[in-house]
Amino acid sequence: MTEHGKDAWLGIDLGTQGVRAVVAAADGRLLGTGSCPLTGSRDGDRHEQDPASWWPAVRTAIRATGADLTRVAALAVDATSGTIALTDRHGRPATPALMYDDGRAGAQADRVNDVGEEQWIRAGYRRMQRSWALPKLRWLLDAHPRAAADGWRLAHQNDVVNRAFTGHDVPADTSNALKTGADAASVAWPRDVLAALDIPYAMLPGLVLPGTVIGTVCARAAEETGLAEGTAVVAGMTDGCAAQLASGATAVGSWNSVLGTTLVLKGVSKDLVHDPNGVVYSHRSPAGHWLPGGASSVGAGLVAREFADADLAELTAEAAPLLPTTLLRYPLVSPGERFPFVAPAARAFASRRAAGRAEDFAALLQGAAYAERLCFDYVDHLGAPTAGAVVLTGGATRNPLWNQLRADVLGRPVTIPRHAQPALGMAVLAATTHDTLDHAAAALVRADRTLDPRSSVTAAHLEGYLRLVDQLTARGWLPGPVAAHARERTGG
């Protein structure tokens, strides 16, 4: 039970465009939401933000909730995955923050992969990408050679905010530290690898699992936010993991499929899922399980690009009777694919010219649903459990035809939650200070609707799906064993 009168949880989402805060009551009611914008700068591969802007934005978002903050028992903060900065010995930002998609550390990534190959294989993801935090940390140290001597330290995005809440140094959560090289299984840094990369161990924060209490709100933070002094501060997760908690997909075998600009699939497994192709990597769940997932370049981004001038409601109505269509599309938003296969040369394609705009739109929706099915078949091929609940989130859930299509293609029920924002996921995580993760998610996450597959069209879609699998295989993008597993799963 919570302390008398402390019956609410605060979740904070540090996004790219802004900070969002949610105060959720123990019975699942949202007591208030607030936000504050953030700005950054882009220049080619570079993407930066000023870390000094994060805490003022967090304060503003919290107060904007309008909720009675004295009811909050605990809070948690998520952050964009792989965003880091260096701070001075007093915790003040010493460099700009290199954001989650900053790609300047290409040469450093090559070195990181050469030195740490065995460690990354054990961790389940095989290789680090240049946008990951460890290559960027090495880049920062190359750019600031006196950083270690001057007592500078690594800070992930939410480390900066958690320090402001508590008033002291804080450990990092293994979720945000995953791309910095943290071993989530042992909750430790790989010292030998870091030493070989000339990264001083003293620069690194301690490590804890998400959901661990890392301090309490200090007097200064209480005065600036309106929270009660002594409110528990809980180690958070990445924004992607936070969104998964907000979907309610926390039990082993359950999956959250996020279809926005691109497609992201995240599930729950009892054991670490190893992927020899480096397509899937796993975070650690607050419950001690693993959260395998991957991100595709297929997505709804093409809707905005190709149908920007269309009345989407009208176009959806025209597309509905055309499904399933024999026109096959693989709707990549950008060149190259990364999940459910790695193919830098992959490009969006269509099997033939569309008979009209409505058919082209129908094929786009269908192609994304087929790609989603292939993602499920891929993680099943790796041995991940896939028989649990499927929860759909992301901007595409605003289209009811697309939701039903995805249920039809998967051949299983899908649920759409009422609120699926990462900040709510952090409220769920904060609630684990007083309950299990599954119980906290069940209490705070509300389903909006569940859609059952229509058996009358599922068989026809599976025939089209297998034709797409054949086309991906013929292009040399989809590995033969994965294609064979997809056919086996459909009975084809």
User: Which tens digits make up the pLDDT trace of 52-91?
Assistant: 999 999 999 999 999 999 999 999 999 999 999 999 999 9
- Per-residue pLDDT tens over the stretch 316-359: 999 999 999 999 999 999 999 989 999 999 999 999 999 999 99
d(CA 282, CA 291): 5
Nearest to 300 by CA among 391, 405, 376: 405
Domain boundaries, the chain: 8-237, 249-428+435-490
Average pLDDT, the chain: 95
Global pTM reads 0.91
| Average pLDDT estimate for 304-321 | 96
Q: What is the pLDDT of residue 297?
A: 93
Among 26-30, 107-111, 267-271, where is mean pLDDT lowest? 26-30
Q: Are 172 and 179 in contact (CB under 8 A)?
A: no
| Average pLDDT estimate for 45-52 | 96
- Per-residue pLDDT tens over the stretch 126-185: 889 899 999 999 999 999 999 999 999 999 999 999 999 999 999 999 999 999 999 999
Q: What is the pLDDT of residue 3?
A: 66
Nearest to 288 by CA among 432, 393, 387: 432
Q: Which CATH number fits domain 249-428+435-490: 1.10.10.10, 3.40.50.720, 3.50.50.60, 3.30.420.40?
A: 3.30.420.40
- Asked if residue 4 has pLDDT above 90, the reply is no
> Taking each helix axis from N to C terminus, what angle separates 400-410 and 357-381, rounded to the nearest 10 degrees?
40
pLDDT tier at 1 (50, 70, 90 boundaries)? very low
Which SS3 state, helix, strand or coil, does residue 213 take?
Answer: strand
pLDDT tier at 413 (50, 70, 90 boundaries)? very high
Considering the chain, what percentage of its residues have pLDDT values greater than 70? 99
| Average pLDDT estimate for 5-18 | 93
Q: Are 208 and 214 in contact (CB under 8 A)?
A: yes
Nearest to 364 by CA among 390, 413, 309, 401: 401
Peptide bond preceding 422: is omega within 30 degrees of 0, i.e. cis? Answer: no
Q: Are 31 and 65 in contact (CB under 8 A)?
A: yes
Residue 31 makes CB contacts below 8 A (sequence gap 6+) with 8, 23, 24, 25, 65, 67, 68, 71
The one-character DSSP state at 70 is G
d(CA 335, CA 343): 9
Q: What is the pLDDT of residue 116?
A: 97
The one-character DSSP state at 261 is S
Q: Are 259 and 247 in contact (CB under 8 A)?
A: no
d(CA 182, CA 309): 46
Q: What is the pLDDT of residue 276?
A: 86
- Per-residue pLDDT tens over the stretch 183-239: 999 999 999 999 999 999 999 999 999 999 999 999 999 999 999 999 999 999 999
The one-character DSSP state at 385 is -
Alpha helices in 65-145 (DSSP H): 106-123, 133-143
Q: Are 415 and 280 in contact (CB under 8 A)?
A: no
Structure tokens at 7: 């019956």
Q: What is the pLDDT of residue 277?
A: 84
- Pairing assessment for the beta strands 207-208 and 172-173 based on DSSP bridges: parallel
Which class would CATH give 8-237? Answer: alpha beta
- In single-letter form, the type of residue at position 374 comes to L
